């Protein structure tokens, strides 16, 4: 049995301002009795270090909104109110609560627990309209994610054969394609432009520590970064292949921006890559209308790994003005089913990105048909970035971020992925699935709201088609 994959998390506070849902204010009538320190199990209240006779300002960061301190204060000196700035961050998809959850996961690598039970949503758009089968959670023999049960979260990238061919003497005739194993079904996607050097270095180091990979524009791979080339995926256009031959020869994988190329041109591009290096090739494709046809043609032409990229809210790119853009879960399902119908699904690896915002989105994307996912914005939120959706996507980085050490930023990204890994283990354990590879395309282990809504109420509320006379 392979050794269990473990993410080493460690509490890593970030001494930068962040917006929290509530704020606690200690008013002047506080008598410094310290009762709030005794009733708060989260240590939101402490005495001042320089003068223990007085109470320090409340620490909103660790507060879990139990209101115990408010109720127990003998003078009513504590006041808890909604932070109005909190209502402005995020948007329709990246909700403020999601940003705060990611921040807290990056703090200590733990799954945030509020103690108020699950409060939503059971329906909505995108992944919110999808429920996973958790029937195995009540199995009495289960002893938890850290017990004797072995649950593998590793995935395999590359082309796999549908069958093997043997000669008359039993000798294997088939050539086994090279594949790459990753211990986590998550890679890091292209970082935002203009990131400071310490942030990029932290993202690379976190990928190394986690055993995963990060896609990086070839122009940003400096001599210092080349030391981590096993975990780097250089990204370039087809016309840059020969120019960067020396770098590509050392890489395990290479990402090709194939947004403006035709599927029928891929064999020539593939031949050029094979003349330069032996790296596995990832084709990056924007999620556009009818892209399943493009993916099918590329897979038939020998594509090994195809990266389907939706926008940051998980929507189709460049959709028709008369139609509603498809969501990433529906795009991946369509692509997966097309490859299954063509009987070549195992011959290509599908990476999904765009709208992968929370830990539960990873197994849900895989249930829809992806082999693994790619993330970008959650990593930046983990290190303090604030995301605003309206009127357009806008990222705000906290002042002083460029002065934070690479080690602290790295640990926060590792903590985030550690929390995601724990949640992936819990979901897989509750579903009775012991290998992440088995999640791919298991739509029978999920419930889609749109489908049951149509089955239940479709006949009652579907508009009747009136035949033209």
pLDDT digits (tens, 9 = 90+) for 335-376: 999 999 999 999 999 999 999 999 999 999 999 999 999 999
Per residue in 196-222, pLDDT (tens digit) is 999 999 999 999 999 999 999 999 999
Classify 459 as helix, strand or coil: helix
CATH topology of domain 22-82: Alpha-Beta Plaits (3.30.70)
- Four-point Cα dihedral 149, 155, 160, 166, nearest 10: -30
Residue in the block written with tokens 């890679």: 187
Q: What is the pLDDT of residue 468?
A: 40
**Local structure of residue 92 (DSSP, 8 states):** S
* Helix or strand holding residue 386 (H, E): strand 386-388
- Distance between CA atoms of residues 370 and 389, nearest Å: 26
Residue range 236-281, pLDDT digits in tens: 999 999 999 999 999 999 999 998 888 999 999 999 999 999 999 9
Ordered alpha helix ranges (H), 164-265: 197-210, 245-248
Query: What pLDDT does 116 receive?
Result: 47
Are domains 22-82 and 155-453 of this chain identical in fold? no
pTM over 0.75: yes
* Class of residue 28 by CB neighbours under 10 A (exposed 0-12, middle 13-18, buried 19+): exposed
CATH superfamily of domain region 155-453: Aldolase class I (3.20.20.70)
Say if residue 3's pLDDT is above 90.
Answer: no
List the chain domain ranges: 22-82, 155-453
């Amino acid at each position: 049995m392979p050794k269990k994959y473990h993410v080493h998390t460690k509490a890593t506070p970030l001494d930068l301002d962040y917006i929290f849902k509530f704020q606690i204010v200690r008013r002047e009538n506080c008598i410094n009795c310290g009762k709030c320190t005794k009733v708060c199990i989260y240590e939101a209240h402490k005495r001042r270090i320089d003068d223990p006779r007085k109470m320090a300002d409340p620490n909103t960061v660790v507060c879990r909104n139990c209101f115990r301190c408010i109720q127990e204060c003998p003078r009513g000196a504590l006041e808890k109110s909604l932070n109005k700035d909190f209502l402005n961050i995020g948007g329709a998809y990246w909700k403020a609560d999601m940003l705060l959850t990611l921040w807290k996961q990056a703090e200590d690598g733990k799954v945030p627990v509020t103690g108020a039970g699950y409060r939503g949503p059971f329906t909505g758009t995108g992944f919110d309209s999808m429920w996973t089968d958790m029937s195995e959670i009540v199995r009495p023999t289960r002893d938890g994610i850290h017990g004797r049960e072995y649950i593998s979260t590793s995935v395999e990238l590359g082309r796999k054969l549908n069958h093997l061919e043997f000669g008359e003497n039993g000798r294997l005739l088939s050539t086994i394609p090279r594949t790459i194993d990753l211990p986590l079904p998550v890679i890091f996607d292209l970082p935002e432009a203009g990131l400071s050097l310490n942030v990029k270095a932290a993202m690379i180091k976190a990928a190394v520590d986690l055993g995963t990979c990060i896609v990086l524009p070839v122009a940003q791979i400096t001599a210092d970064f080349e030391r981590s080339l096993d975990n780097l995926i250089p990204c370039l256009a087809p016309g840059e292949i020969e120019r960067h031959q020396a770098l590509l020869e050392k890489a395990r994988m290479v990402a090709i921006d194939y947004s403006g190329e035709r599927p029928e041109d891929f064999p020539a591009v593939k031949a050029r890559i094979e003349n330069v290096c032996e790296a596995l090739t990832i084709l990056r494709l924007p999620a556009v209308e009818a892209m399943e046809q493009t993916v099918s043609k590329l897979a038939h032409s020998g594509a090994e790994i195809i990266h389907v990229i939706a926008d940051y809210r998980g929507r189709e790119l460049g959709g028709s003005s008369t139609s509603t853009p498809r969501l990433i879960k529906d795009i991946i399902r369509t692509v997966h089913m097309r490859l299954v119908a063509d009987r070549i699904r195992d011959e290509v690896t599908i990476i999904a990105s765009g709208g992968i915002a929370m830990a539960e989105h990873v197994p849900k994307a895989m249930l829809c048909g992806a082999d693994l996912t790619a993330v970008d914005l959650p990593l930046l939120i983990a290190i303090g970035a604030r995301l605003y959706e309206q009127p357009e996507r806008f990222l705000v980085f906290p002042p002083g971020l460029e002065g934070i050490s690479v080690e602290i930023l790295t640990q926060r990204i590792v903590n985030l992925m550690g929390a995601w890994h724990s949640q992936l283990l819990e979901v897989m354990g509750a579903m009775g699935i012991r290998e992440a590879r088995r999640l791919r395309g298991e739509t029978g282990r999920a419930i889609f709201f749109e489908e049951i809504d149509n089955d239940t109420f479709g006949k009652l509320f579907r508009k009747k088609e009136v035949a033209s006379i």
